[in-house]
Amino acid sequence: MIRVVVSTAVIDLAAELAALERDGAVVSFTGLVRGDDGVATLELEHYPGATEAALGQLAEAASARWSLTAATIVHRVGPMAPGERIVFVGTCAPHRGAALEACAFLIDRLKTDAPFWKRETVNGAARWVEARDSDDVAATRWE
């Protein structure tokens, strides 16, 4: 089972984890909006349809590579404050190694492969967030 959601709704961790529990091992990653450098608001924009398709392809690739029994990616869009959940990635596999690696693969690759645009507001001024070189480096380890 693969589930991909892009939404403005708050991420319900208990519900997402419960939906993944099938067998063996469940691994998850939850990302929170950082308040680095005085960020008051982070707003994510996306290209509807294309974003879900890109995330779905990543989940399919992980499922095939690690024989997952379930994979979930939930990503928020719209305005968010520091401390709010921005992303949830969960995997389920018969064995922990596969679930752990697949989860790491998904979070590393979605940072570079999914079409999201981030704008942060600091001291009342909005600015677009540039891609980080460290995200590119992390993604290349899965090639």
Tens digit of each residue's pLDDT, the chain (143 residues): 999 999 999 999 999 999 999 889 999 999 999 988 889 999 999 989 999 999 999 999 999 999 999 999 999 999 999 999 999 999 999 999 999 999 999 999 998 888 999 999 998 889 998 878 787 777 788 88
What pLDDT does residue 15 have?
A: 96
What pLDDT does residue 133 have?
A: 77
The Cα–Cα gap between 113 and 127 comes to 21
Q: Which residues of 23-37 are buried (b: 16+ CB within 10 A; e: fewer)?
A: eebbbbebbebeeee
What pLDDT does residue 94 have?
A: 96
Our measurement of the distance from residue 40's CA atom to the centroid of its chain's CA atoms, rounded to an integer in Å, reads 21
